[in-house]
Structure 1
Amino acid sequence: MGLLSPVVLPPGPAIWTEESFGSDDWPLFAALTHPDVTARRLTVIAQWDVCLLALDDYFVTAYKLPRDPVGARVFVERVPLFMPVRGGGSVPVPANQVEHALAELWQRTSPEMPTEARERFARWVTEFVAANLDELDAALYGHVPDPVHYLEFRRASAGTDLSVGLTGIRPASGPALRRLEDAFADTVGLRNDIYSYRKEIDEEREVCNAVHCFYHLLGGSLQDAVDVTYRLFQERIQEFIRVSEHETGPEHTGYVTALRDWMAGDNQWYRHTGRYRQGTSRHLHPA
């Protein structure tokens, strides 16, 4: 798809090098978060993981770092055009390599989804990319969100609907499952915010990060903010355990297991990936 090339479909800035892509190790991420799926299913999941992270990293490179809100909105508005829900729908000519990758992967994998599933998945992809607009606006105006508002917003930007959707076994939602998924989403976002703090704040000049939010709100040292974020992370894990053990039934066992496996695999991936080794984030250890 040309994701390692800067000029396959201009104007496409390079988002990864071969070295950085190998260091991130998205195939390992897919395998760890979906340990029991078939090889064929795992391949599709890994390709979607790569495509989604390409969209996310492209947004950073092309729009966040240059502080280009106009271009960013055009980019987000075009995303759903490459995922026609009805079979045989035409798509625009891709303007860059990530649109090219999205169009190709959607054309190849969406026919296997029921129409309702295609509609949901296309909406989740669009919402995942669109969450970057709020982060860009916050960075443009230097607005650090309060932690409560940020936690709600982070559930969308973490892409957890997509993560859940890729399990392929999402049951009909109810109050208990919504609480379970909110706790799951919070653990995903908070873990990432601890590991990615230096990358996001120092390199990408973000302001939307839980550690940064607590640091801005509470003062104290950066390590204090890390520790507060980590305690909240632990509390959300305990909420996930409580809901899964006391508010879900046997019919949800497979789904709960899939989410639990995803959380464990995600945690293990952070211990191996080189994505966040730049800067000094590796020296921040939650107490």
Structure 2
Amino acid sequence: MPTDSAGAAPAPVTVLERSLADLWDRTVAGMTGAARAEFRATMADMLESWVWEVENRSHHRVPDPVDYAEMRRRTFGSQLTMYMCRLGHGGRGVPEEIYRSGTVRSLENAAADIGCLINDIFSYQKEVEFEGDMHNHLVVTRTFFDIGYPEALHICHSLMKQRVEEFQHIVANLLPRLCEDRGLDAEGRAGLDAYADELRDWLAGVLNWHRRVRRYGEDELRRQGGGALAATVLSSGFGMAAARIGLPV
């Protein structure tokens, strides 16, 4: 992923590498060097977070809640999604320093946490009970507090509600104050409001997708083969740390 037009990338060898090189070239065509560098950094950050998950699995290590919450934003691809959203609208007249402000970062973190919690709650049965993964807010909460599933679900649900309320508070109170303090013009204010609206749309889409998709339904999971037998068979495979450390399901 070279960050300048003259940058040299390793010569692709496989079909996959050639495809990725072509995709990168077409994606960043017309972008400035600075925009390419930020895009590349955002992509690399997500890929490195996936390596972090692999390392945890290899060491049978369940992360603590603080580390997990921070890394989950990256493994979920939240930062990449939000960057591409801003990129697609050319900034909308919003200065880059506004996007880098603590207020907007807090808004984005709240949105990311909501999306991650939605995913982890809906995917728990599939990814934990059937596949034995440990990268899930409920597993992390259960392990840290040594509690059962109902208690962990209640904590995660309460956290999600708090993050929704924080998101709403930032939009209603802090974004207008930020615009006023930074002297943002009408175009910039409209652009920032549009960005907040798109974050809302993204969260609505995340929730709607999880409600409608078949992959997390118990009937679909058992149709593919699962339950206690699958847990026994899969517990010796890659990524089965949750099963090996004896987490109750």
TM-score, with structure 2 as normaliser? 0.71
Q: 1:156 aligns with which of 66, 74, 78?
A: 74
Cα pair 1:244 1:256 within 8 Å, conserved: yes
Go from structure 1 to structure 2 and tell me whether the alpha carbon gap of 1:98 and 1:262 turns closer, same or farther (over 3 Å shift): farther
2:10 to 89, 92, 98: 92
Alpha-carbon spacing, 1:198–1:264, altered in 2? closer, same or farther (3 Å):
same
State how far apart, in whole Å, the 1-side matches of 2:155 and 2:41 are.
33
State the AA in 2 paired with 1:84: P
Q: Out of 214, 217, 221, which is 1:279 matched to?
A: 221
* 2:56 partner amino acid: A
Question: Which letter maps to 1:189?
Answer: C
In the alignment, is the contact (CA less than 8 A) between 1:124 and 1:161 conserved in 2? yes
- Determine the C-alpha separation between the residues in 1 that align with 2:11 and 2:127: 32
Q: Does 1:223 align with 2:150?
A: yes
Structure 1 CA distance for aligned equivalents of residues 59 and 8 of structure 2:
38
Equivalences for residues 112-123 of structure 1 within 5 A:
112-123=30-41
- Deviation string, structure 1 residues 181-208 (Cα, Å, up to 9, x no partner): 1101111211111122233334554322
Conserved? CA contact 2:124–2:138, under 8 Å: yes
Partner residue of 1:104 out of 22, 25, 40: 22
Helix, strand or coil at the partner of 1:191:
helix
Correspondence 1:256 to 2:200: no
Residue in 1 aligned with 2:170? 243
Task: Report the Cα offset of residue 107 of structure 1.
Answer: 1.2
Which residue of structure 2 aligns with residue 178 of structure 1? Answer: 105
The corresponding residue for 2:207 is 267
In the TM superposition, what is the alpha-carbon distance from 1:88 to its structure 2 partner?
A: 4.3
1:193 aligns with 2:120: yes
Q: Give the deviation of 1:115 after TM superposition.
A: 2.0
Question: What is the CA–CA distance in structure 2 between the aligned matches of 1:203 and 1:129, rounded to whole Å?
Answer: 25
Given that 2:118 and 2:206 are in contact with CA atoms closer than 8 Å, whether structure 1 keeps it comes out as no
SS at match of 1:199: helix
RMSD value, Cα: 2.2
1:261–1:97: structure 2 CA closer, same or farther, 3 Å change rule? farther
Gaps of 5+ in 2: 180-188, 223-249
Structure 1 residue 176, shift from structure 2 partner = 0.8
What CA distance in whole angstroms lies between the structure 2 residues aligned with 1:276 and 1:101? Answer: 31
Q: How does 1:35-50 map to 2 (within 5 A)?
A: none
Q: How does 1:122-137 map to 2 (within 5 A)?
A: 122-137=40-55
Give the C-alpha shift of residue 151 in structure 1. Answer: 0.8
What is residue 61 of structure 2 aligned with on the other side? Answer: 143
**Runs (5+) with no aligned partner, structure 1:** 1-82, 281-287
Measured after TM superposition, the shift of residue 122 of structure 1 is 1.0
Q: Deviations over 1:95-141 (max 9, x none)?
A: 65654442221111211322222111111111111101111121122
In the TM superposition, residue 164 of structure 1 has moved relative to its aligned partner by: 0.6
User: Aligned residue pairs: how many?
Assistant: 198
Shift of 1:217: 2.2
In the alignment, the residues of structure 1 paired with residue 216 and residue 15 of structure 2 have an alpha-carbon distance, to the nearest angstrom, of 24
Matches within 5 A, 1:20-59: none
Asked whether the equivalents of residues 215 and 221 of structure 2 are also in contact (C-alpha less than 8 Å), the reply is no
Distance 1:97 1:267 in 2: 35
- Contact preservation (8 Å) 1:135, 1:207: no
Identity %: 30
